[in-house]
Structures are given as C-alpha cells and as structure tokens.
A and B are shown apart, each in its own frame.
Chain A
Amino acid sequence: MIAIIDYKAGNLRSVERALKKLGSPCRITQDKEEILNSDRIIFPGVGAAGKAMADLRHLGLDKVLRQELEANKPILGICLGAQIILERSEENNAECLGFIKGDVELFAQPLLSEENERLKIPHMGWNGVRLQKKHPILEGIAPADEFYFVHAYYPRPVSDEYVIGTTRYGIEFPSVIGYNNLIAAQFHPEKSGRAGLRLLKNFCTWDGRYVE
C-alpha cells in the first residue's frame, strides 16, 4: 500500500486517481500508523512553503517522514513536496525539512529565453527533463518526453550529486532530485500523460535502492 501524505496541501485526488489507473493500492492519509505501515510514500503538495511546513509540524508528520527516510522506505516528493525537502525556502523564508542540503529559490526576474524574450513566472506548462543521471524511476522515459509544471520556485541543492534531471526555463534548474530512497519531481507526474504515469509506475515497483 502507498501512503499519500495528506497535510491539507492541495488536491491529492489526482495522485490517487493516477495510482488507481495503474492498479496500485493507495490511501490518502495523515495517520502515523498507517504511514509507518505503508510500503512506500508519496509526498505531494501545492501551495506555499510556509503554511505547508507549519501544517506538517502541527500534524507531527515532519518527524514521521524523517523516520521513514532513515528507514529506507521509497519516498516520492511532488511539486511542493520536491521543495520543502530542502533546508529552507525563499518562499515565506520557511525553514524546511532539510533532507537535502540546499535552498529553494524564486526564479530571478527578468528571466529571458535563449531568444532573449521575457519568460513569465510562474513556469506553467509542458517542458522536458534532461537526465543528468540514470535512475530507476526514469526508466523508459525518452528525451522527448515532457511533463506538466506549475511553479515559481525551484529546488537548488548545494551539490550536483543530488541532481538527477534538469529543465531549461531561462536557466537550467534541477527538476528531479534525490538520493538513496528519496526521489522528488518538481513537475506533476499525475498530470503528465503517459510519461508521467510511467514514472509513477516505476515508483510503484522501485525498491528504494539507488546507486549511481
């Protein structure tokens, strides 16, 4: 069973529906026991970092997540869930979970394309992911596959060792990050068509082991 962590951060039903389509049993939950008894964890989220962290702490789920990270359970962060695993976010100046060393930063303005055109913020729509490293979760994903993004902030780990994939939007930013049993995507795989479903399917069978 996959636990989809519910900390009031947006609509979790789309993740649930995608897993249902894949035939993977899952539960949307904030119950500690249920999370500890799950086989793997999806940590989604939309909204602001400050409120998300406050809600997580209030529910005691920050500690549960750390415990599960250390227990080597496979964990997938999505969107805001790929940001608040860093140490801090420029958004609300929030202290975050610190699973990965580094910050979450706002796209600097003005953001310009290669043709010198002004790019809008948030980064919204379909964009590609350049694989910097092989990872079991990206098995079967082709260079031309694209994913659906909606965000104004992006994760910036201190070291490239955490960067699995990058995306070009004015700058080349880390869009898939992780290490060991933790993996996180800035985009929404549950809204990214077949490529996104493939990524989720890969996660559903991943044993949480990752060696470069």
Chain B
Amino acid sequence: MLSKRIIPCLDVRDGKTTKGIKFKENIDIGDPVEMARYYYEQGADEIVFYDITASSDRRDIMIDVVHRVAEEIFIPFSVGGGIRTIEDMRRVLLAGAEKVSVNTAAVRDPKIISDGARAFGSQCIVLGMDVKKVEASEKIPSGYEIVIHGGRTYMGIDALAWAKEAENLGAGEICLNSIDADGTQQGYEMALTPLISENVNIPVIASGGAGNIDHLCDVLTKGKADAALVASIVHYGTYTIKQIKDELDARGVKMRMRW
C-alpha cells in the first residue's frame, strides 16, 4: 500500500537556508546540504527546495547546492523558484534534482508544462499553485483563485480549472499552497485540498498551515492529500520528522516507517 509522504520544504537564498533555529544537533542550519541530510536521516520521504534568490545572476549558486545535495541524499528532491525556461529545468535536473517545480512561469505561459513534460517526462514536472479563497463567480466558479507575487496579484484564473489544465498539459504532480493558510499554523486548507485532489489523477501535495499533528492527519485523510509539505513545524523544532511519522503511524495513516 502506498505511503503518504512527509516533505520538508527548505527556502534557499544565495545558497543559504533562511529558516531553521533551535536544532539541538550540531549542524549548520544555514547550509541546505546539511539540512537536507538531517531531514533525510530523520525519515523525510522527499525534500523540496525553494530558491528565493532575488538576482538571476546568482542562480548558479543554487545549481551548486543541487549538485552537492544529490551526492548526499538518496531520496527524490525537487527544486522550484525562478524556473522560467526549459533550459532552467534542464540545469536543475542534470545537477541531480528528481523534479522541478514551476509556478508563476506556468501561469504566464502554460506551454512550459507541456514542453517540460515532453523533454523530461511528466514525473519531473511539478506544478506549484498559490491559491486564495475568493467569492465564487462566473469566472472563478470554485471560489479559489490563482495568485502570484506571494498573493498580491490575482490572476483571474480558477484554481480547479488550472489544476485540470496543468494535468492535461502533462504536469506529474501538484504542490497546492494556500496563501490564506500559509504561515498561520492553524491547519491546512481543508476545503481546497480535497476539491483539487479528488478532481485530478495526479498526486497533490498539500502546503501551508501545518501547526500540529492533527493538521497533518486531517489533510492526509479527510483532505485527500497524497503528501504534506512541512516547514516551520520542523524548522523551528516543534516536531522532528520522526515524531510526525510516529504519531501519524499510530493514528493509522500509512507511513514509511523504516529508513
């Protein structure tokens, strides 16, 4: 039986992780390679890197990070942030990432999904979606709208329609981020997540809002998510990945328990 995945997300700027304190172990919390290895050894099922480097001429630093991570950890990991072209994808994948995620670039030009899927296979292409709840309307029938710029710009695109379109274009997975829930630690978006997950045939990773084990349990069961992204609750030491998996396993959520 397929396990539900627990996926820590690391934000990286200029080759350094930007969050993460209160680690008891003696590791360099600013080093994405060490952080990745730490989570790998704790039983993370996959790792997501999000490159928030502002200037594009410093992107090579991220490629170097990907190279070094690939030599250290032997589970899938994906890289997102600043992926705008097929060539950007190729560099990240050749450096050793299993998957690459596109968000804003795909909203602006959906063809990057189909081109990427054709060049590298659907299993490599993750669509990142930033979503905000709005009044349901003719244009946004699901009541969830695609946003960019961290939620500041509304794109007039319905989230459910976009998820289905991306699947048709060849996306292999969706990372569904609720801007409303993100950072609140009040739980994942429990209406949006099943709405998307039950209407596509590709895996959905729920993102945004994890504050405790109940939230993770809910989104992986009632929320129909195939995987859950975790950030603050592991970076700030509230739980270790192992504690999360032990707890979820005890509650009957199928987890990979040996690593």
Give Cα distance in the complex from A150 to B173, angstroms: 11
Q: In this complex, what residue of A is CB-closest to B76?
A: A191
Inter-subunit contact B75/A193 (CB<8 Å): yes
- Count: A-B pairs, CB below 8 Å: 88
Inter-subunit contact B123/A122 (CB<8 Å): yes
Q: Within the complex, what minimum Cβ distance (angstroms) separates A89 from chain B?
A: 16
Inter-subunit contact A126/B2 (CB<8 Å): yes
Inter-subunit contact A126/B3 (CB<8 Å): yes
Assuming the contacts A21-B74, A122-B172, A190-B74, asked whether A13 and B96 have C-beta atoms less than 8 A apart, the reply is yes
Give Cα distance in the complex from A127 to B257, angstroms: 11
Give Cα distance in the complex from A151 to B38, angstroms: 28
Question: Chain A residues near B96 (CB, 8 Å)?
Answer: 13-14, 17
Contact with B along A98-137 (1 / 0, CB 8 A): 0000000000000001100001111111111000000000
Which of B70, B123, B259 meets A124, CB within 8 Å? B123
Whether, in the assembled complex, B24 has its beta carbon less than 8 Å from a beta carbon of chain A, the answer is no
Whether, in the assembled complex, B1 has its beta carbon less than 8 Å from a beta carbon of chain A, the answer is yes
Give Cα distance in the complex from A18 to B73, angstroms: 9
Whether, in the assembled complex, A196 has its beta carbon less than 8 Å from a beta carbon of chain B, the answer is yes
Inter-subunit contact A150/B40 (CB<8 Å): no
Inter-subunit contact A197/B2 (CB<8 Å): no
Main secondary structure, interface of B, reads: loop
Inter-subunit contact A144/B258 (CB<8 Å): yes
Question: Chain B residues near A113 (CB, 8 Å)?
Answer: 1
Question: Chain B residues near A119 (CB, 8 Å)?
Answer: 2
Whether, in the assembled complex, A169 has its beta carbon less than 8 Å from a beta carbon of chain B, the answer is yes
Whether, in the assembled complex, A205 has its beta carbon less than 8 Å from a beta carbon of chain B, the answer is no
Question: Chain A residues near B70 (CB, 8 Å)?
Answer: 13-14, 17
Question: Chain A residues near B74 (CB, 8 Å)?
Answer: 18, 21, 190-194, 196-197
Measured as residues with beta carbon below 8 angstroms from the partner, the interface class of chain A is: 35 or more
Inter-subunit contact A128/B98 (CB<8 Å): no
Whether, in the assembled complex, B201 has its beta carbon less than 8 Å from a beta carbon of chain A, the answer is yes
Q: In this complex, what residue of A is CB-closest to B227?
A: A125
Question: Chain B residues near A11 (CB, 8 Å)?
Answer: 93-94, 120
Q: Within the complex, what minimum Cβ distance (angstroms) separates B97 from chain A?
A: 9
Whether, in the assembled complex, B189 has its beta carbon less than 8 Å from a beta carbon of chain A, the answer is no
Question: Chain A residues near B5 (CB, 8 Å)?
Answer: 125-126
Contact with B along A16-34 (1 / 0, CB 8 A): 0110110000000000000
Which residue, B45, B70, B74, has most C-beta atoms of chain A within 10 A?
Answer: B74
A–B pairs, 25, beta carbons within 8 Å: A10-B121, A14-B70, A17-B71, A21-B74, A119-B2, A120-B203, A121-B201, A122-B172, A124-B202, A124-B203, A125-B5, A125-B227, A126-B3, A127-B2, A127-B3, A146-B256, A150-B123, A169-B2, A190-B74, A191-B74, A192-B74, A193-B74, A193-B259, A194-B259, A197-B74
Other A-B pairs, 17, CB within 8 Å; known A11-B94, A124-B173: A11-B93, A11-B120, A13-B70, A13-B96, A14-B70, A122-B123, A125-B3, A125-B5, A126-B2, A126-B256, A144-B257, A146-B3, A146-B258, A150-B123, A169-B1, A190-B74, A191-B75
